[in-house]
Amino acid sequence: PVSPWEVRSVDRGFRGSGRAVAGDVAVKDGARQAFAVDVVAAVVQNGDRYLLCQRPVGKRHGGLWEFPGGKVLDGETLEAATRRELAEELGVRTTRVFGEIERFQDEASEFLIHFLQVEIDGEPFAHEHQQLDWFLLTEMRALPLAPADKALVHLLTSGRAP
């Protein structure tokens, strides 16, 4: 599906990539809207498997699989938000945040999702999700994924991820 949002840079004009960077605005039906909500998504690997969680039914993208994470609070860094969200959602301690892999605008929303590669300590437990599991990249391509997560999986499987 085509998103009704376009990503425009304040300084560079329309980029057309679907990827957003700090300072970008969203344009929907000709109206400019600033990206209002930063969201972190933790890319956690265990060998050749990645941790994904299934969103609760009744929430945005309910029933779809995603990388765990959540909204960044006012004044919070991406790293701090990742540590807090993984502790709250999964009951694990984040031991290392390597940095941002990519960021994507969530379809038809103000959410700018920052995908960060992280290491964790502890056994994750689904406190807020329906379930969680570890998947190979090839398995992830067959899952019903939230749109931004699907874009990241495509990037990872294409070998174009940084």
Q: Judge whether residue 27 has pLDDT over 80.
A: no
Q: Residue 75: which pLDDT band, with cuts at 50, 70 and 90?
A: very high
21-44 mean pLDDT: 67
**Residue by residue, what is the 3-state secondary structure of the chain?**
CCCCEEEEECCCEECCCCCCCCCEEEEECCEEEECCEEEEEEEEEECCEEEEEECCCCCCCCCCEECCEEECCCCCCHHHHHHHHHHHHHCCEEEEEEEEEEEEECCCCCEEEEEEEEEEECCCCCCCCCEEEEEEHHHHCCCCECHHHHHHHHHHHHCCCC
Q: Judge whether residue 3 has pLDDT over 60.
A: no
Supply the pLDDT for residue 59.
Answer: 82
Reported as a single tens digit per residue, the pLDDT across 99-110 is 899 999 888 788
Supply the pLDDT for residue 1.
Answer: 30
Q: Judge whether residue 23 has pLDDT over 60.
A: no
